[in-house]
Amino acid sequence: MKKGFFITFEGGEGAGKSTQCQLLAEALTKKGESCLLTREPGGSTGAEEIRSLVVNGQANRWDSTTEMLLFMAARRDHLLKKIWPAINDGTIVICDRFLDSTLAYQGYGYGKDSKAIHHINTVYQIIAGDFKPDLTFILDIDPEEGIRRSRIRSGSQMSEQRFESMDLSFHYNLRQAFHELAQESNRYVIIDATRSIDEIHTDILKVIQERRVC
């Protein structure tokens, strides 16, 4: 049986990850590929319940360690119930955020913390072993512009705005984190997210073709 492929999308708030995930899933499905579009935190019933705990409420609702443990619990359920079964069935899984977001938000967001990053990697090893994405797109945008876009998108809807309400310095730390992570492996591809939706989508499809994903 053909083994599936795991693609993740990362980046700061308002970078357009969800839109590009959806467009890629639609493009691959039109080509006859079996695709699963999912997200984190969430993606499975248990993980979606945990999602409501971490993305809602006041900015100071949790400290970084509590956040990390909640995200990892959600991720374990997501892997067991959705991601691993789909990959074993030969499906291309497209996920809006994954481990790199935990490293960025809980390891760098409050100030780069090598101890926190070590703990994140250790807990991840416990829940997922050596499993990692095959390809990760980082949608890069200036944090001020990203937050502006995110607020326009959300309008008066204030739910799931906990991270958007963090100080701007937090969001600049996130951008630095994703750029540093991108230096660690050739699975990362940084995409300029300041351009039009169609231009970004075209670049992503070029990478998909170059990497022979399908």
Which pLDDT does position 55 carry in this prediction? 77
Task: Supply the pLDDT for residue 168.
Answer: 85
Q: What is the pLDDT of residue 93?
A: 98
Cis preceding-peptide flag for 85 (omega within 30 of 0): no
Q: With CA atoms as reference, report the closest residue to 178 among 84, 102, 122, 120.
A: 102
Place of tokens 């006859």: 32
pLDDT in single tens digits along all 214 residues of the chain: 458 999 999 999 889 999 999 999 999 999 999 999 999 999 999 999 998 888 777 767 888 888 899 999 999 999 999 999 999 999 999 999 999 999 999 999 888 889 999 999 999 999 999 999 999 999 999 999 988 887 777 654 444 566 666 788 889 999 999 999 999 999 999 999 999 999 999 999 999 999 988 7
pLDDT score, position 158: 46
Minimal CA–CA distance to 94: which of 12, 39, 47? 39
pLDDT score, position 154: 64
142-147 contacts at long range (C-beta below 8 A, 24 or more positions apart):
142/175, 142/194, 143/12, 143/13, 143/168, 143/171, 143/172, 143/174, 143/175, 144/168, 145/14, 145/194, 146/11, 146/12, 146/13, 146/14, 146/15, 146/171, 146/193, 147/13, 147/14, 147/171
Q: Are 2 and 90 in contact (CB under 8 A)?
A: yes
* pLDDT (0 to 100) of residue 1: 42
